[in-house]
């Protein structure tokens, strides 16, 4: 009998009526003969509400106690869905992380999964019950509640699917799949029928919010087939799996836009070995992710180093860089609070030349100046002034994915 893991996001369980609709969907899937495990997020807005409560009581809420607090959102959703399924005569049992023994490290707010004990899940399935699991949470080796990071109920679902060797992991959200671009910005964006793990990883890391990045990494590692579907409408959704040969025929699969980046420039840095490590070491130690880095050609023994960080980390990054600047004798620190990172993604780039040149020509035709560039085998990213971000995205989508462009066949 097939094992299916279904995950429902916050909007999917955002009200009593939505929970009823999810329960109906689960009941239909079970009636079709599959063994189901269901993972749920907190109801839409609930996690933000809980964080806000903590912040009203403390300027720096204790991370351990914050995890204890915010993990309750998923507990509520799991219990409510289980209650409704039982009302529909579907045998059900809800599980929290400590009941499953989903073990993590002790990094509160962004814990890493170390092990999942599937014993109780398998016992529930063998007895004909549907396990409903609270996503987003784990326990460390001392039994403390941890959380996996925002949006990480996807990660819970993929981890359970990998442990159970599930036939598929279905991610239900408020969109009906992965699109070639954000439809709110690009009206002509189209749903992809299939996308590779590598492309989805790039798109998730570059600003697409359909799937959580770590969940895609885990799915690729354990070859867990994913399907992104809407819980609001019926449809096939988008399949995320290993790369297929035909994918290389498609030059670009998607265009992404990340408006939550800041740019920092450290000017007048002495051009000598070891300084890059001295600059970026403290930032890494603080857990701040540096995305793009460029170093200008040196002049008179000095150079400028420019890099981007998430906007939420700008203040902390500036504090650290100002200290480093004094230590290494840099001439100044400058920053731009908001920049836009626009990217094109596609496995076809591996076998097609001239993609970057075409991208730059499209942006030049719109008089959009490129401030930074980064490339990989299957992506090209540029940083532009924030006010041109949406224009750049639309122009690139029209050029690469317009009528007769590179949308994947079957999209």
Kindly tell me if the per-residue pLDDT of 411 is higher than 50.
no
What local confidence, expressed as pLDDT, does residue 247 receive?
A: 54
pLDDT tens-digit map of 102-151: 999 999 999 999 999 999 999 999 999 999 999 999 999 999 999 999 88
pLDDT band of 206, cuts 50, 70, 90: confident
Nearest Cα to 231, choosing from 26, 3, 63?
26
Q: Has domain 255-401 been given CATH number 3.30.2130.10? A: yes
Kindly tell me if the per-residue pLDDT of 407 is higher than 50.
no
pLDDT tens-digit map of 143-188: 999 999 988 999 999 999 999 999 999 999 988 999 999 888 998 8
Kindly tell me if the per-residue pLDDT of 251 is higher than 80.
no
Domain 3-174, what fold? Carbamate kinase (3.40.1160)
Q: Residues 321, 323, 329, 334: is their CA dihedral positive or negative?
A: positive
Kindly tell me if the per-residue pLDDT of 409 is higher than 50.
no
What local confidence, expressed as pLDDT, does residue 351 receive?
A: 74
Q: In angstroms, rounded to a whole number, what is the distance separating the alpha carbons of residues 236 and 234?
A: 7
In the three-class reduction of DSSP (H, G, I as helix; E, B as strand; rest coil), residue 228 is classed as strand
**Residue whose token pair is 């400590």:** 98
Q: In angstroms, rounded to a whole number, what is the distance separating the alpha carbons of residues 220 and 214?
A: 10
What local confidence, expressed as pLDDT, does residue 375 receive?
A: 87
What local confidence, expressed as pLDDT, does residue 37 receive?
A: 98
Q: In angstroms, rounded to a whole number, what is the distance separating the alpha carbons of residues 340 and 107?
A: 30
Question: Which whole number is the average pLDDT over 396-406?
Answer: 78
Q: In angstroms, rounded to a whole number, what is the distance separating the alpha carbons of residues 95 and 30?
A: 18
Q: In angstroms, rounded to a whole number, what is the distance separating the alpha carbons of residues 318 and 288?
A: 11
Answer whether 52's CB lies under 8 Å from 45's CB: no
Measured between alpha carbons, how far apart are the two ends of the chain, in Å?
Answer: 30
Domain ranges, ordered by start, for the chain: 3-174, 255-401
pLDDT tens-digit map of 33-51: 999 999 999 999 999 999 9
Kindly tell me if the per-residue pLDDT of 368 is higher than 80.
yes
- The b/e string for 374-385 (b: 16+ C-beta within 10 A; e otherwise) is beeebbbbbbbe
Could you give the angle at the alpha carbon of 204 between the alpha carbons of 201 and 207, nearest 5°? 145
Question: Which whole number is the average pLDDT over 268-277?
Answer: 85
Q: What CA–CA distances, in Å, run from 304 to 1, 120, 227, 267?
A: 60, 56, 44, 4
What local confidence, expressed as pLDDT, does residue 299 receive?
A: 67
Alpha-carbon 333 to chain mean position: 31
Among 85-89, 98-102, 234-238, which is the least confidently predicted range? 234-238
What local confidence, expressed as pLDDT, does residue 246 receive?
A: 56
What local confidence, expressed as pLDDT, does residue 306 receive?
A: 94
Please count the helices (runs of H) and the strands (runs of E) in the chain: 13, 18
β-strand pairing of 293-295 with 226-230: unpaired
| Mean pLDDT of the residues in the chain | 91
CB atoms within 10 A of CB 46: 19
Kindly tell me if the per-residue pLDDT of 209 is higher than 90.
no
Kindly tell me if the per-residue pLDDT of 258 is higher than 70.
yes
DSSP conformation letters of 386-405: GGGHHHHHHHHHHHHHSTTS
β-strand pairing of 254-270 with 168-173: unpaired
Kindly tell me if the per-residue pLDDT of 248 is higher than 60.
no
pLDDT tens-digit map of 326-366: 999 999 999 999 999 999 998 888 777 788 999 999 999 99
pLDDT band of 265, cuts 50, 70, 90: very high
């Amino acid at each position: 009998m097939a094992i299916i893991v279904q995950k429902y996001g916050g909007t999917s369980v955002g009200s009593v009526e939505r929970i009823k609709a999810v329960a109906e969907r689960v009941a239909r899937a079970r009636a079709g003969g599959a063994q189901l495990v269901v993972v749920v997020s907190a109801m839409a807005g609930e996690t933000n509400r809980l964080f806000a409560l903590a912040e009203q009581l403390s300027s720096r809420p204790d991370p351990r106690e914050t995890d204890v607090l915010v993990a309750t959102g998923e507990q509520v959703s799991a219990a409510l869905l289980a209650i409704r399924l039982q009302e529909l005569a579907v045998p059900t049992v809800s599980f929290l992380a400590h009941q499953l023994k989903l073990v993590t490290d002790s990094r509160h707010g962004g814990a890493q999964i170390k092990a999942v004990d599937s014993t109780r899940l398998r016992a529930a399935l063998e007895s004909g019950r549907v396990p409903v699991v609270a996503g987003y949470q784990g326990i460390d080796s001392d039994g403390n509640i941890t959380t996996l990071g925002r949006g990480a109920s996807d990660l819970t679902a993929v981890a359970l699917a990998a442990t159970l060797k599930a036939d598929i992991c279905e991610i239900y959200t408020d969109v009906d799949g992965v699109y070639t671009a954000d439809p709110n910005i690009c009206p002509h964006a189209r749903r992809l029928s299939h996308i590779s793990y590598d492309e989805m990883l790039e798109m998730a890391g570059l600003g697409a919010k359909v799937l959580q990045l770590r969940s895609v990494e885990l799915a690729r590692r354990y070859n867990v087939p994913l399907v992104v579907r809407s819980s609001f409408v019926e449809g096939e959704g988008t399949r995320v799996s290993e790369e297929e040969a035909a994918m290389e025929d498609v030059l670009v699969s998607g265009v992404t836009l990340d408006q939550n980046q800041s740019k920092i420039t450290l000017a007048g840095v002495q051009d000598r070995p070891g300084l890059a490590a001295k600059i970026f070491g403290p930032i890494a130690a603080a857990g701040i992710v540096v995305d793009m880095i460029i170093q200008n050609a040196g002049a008179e023994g000095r150079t400028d180093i420019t890099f981007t960080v998430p906007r939420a980390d700008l203040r902390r990054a500036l504090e650290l860089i100002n200290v480093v600047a004094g230590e290494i004798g840099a001439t100044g620190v400058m920053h731009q609070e908001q920049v836009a990172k626009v990217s094109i993604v596609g496995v076809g780039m591996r076998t097609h030349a001239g993609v970057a040149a075409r991208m730059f020509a499209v942006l030049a035709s719109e008089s959009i100046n490129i401030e930074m560039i980064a490339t990989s085998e299957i992506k090209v990213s540029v940083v532009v002034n924030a006010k041109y971000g949406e224009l750049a995205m639309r122009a690139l989508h029209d050029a690469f994915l317009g009528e007769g462009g590179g949308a994947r066949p079957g999209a």
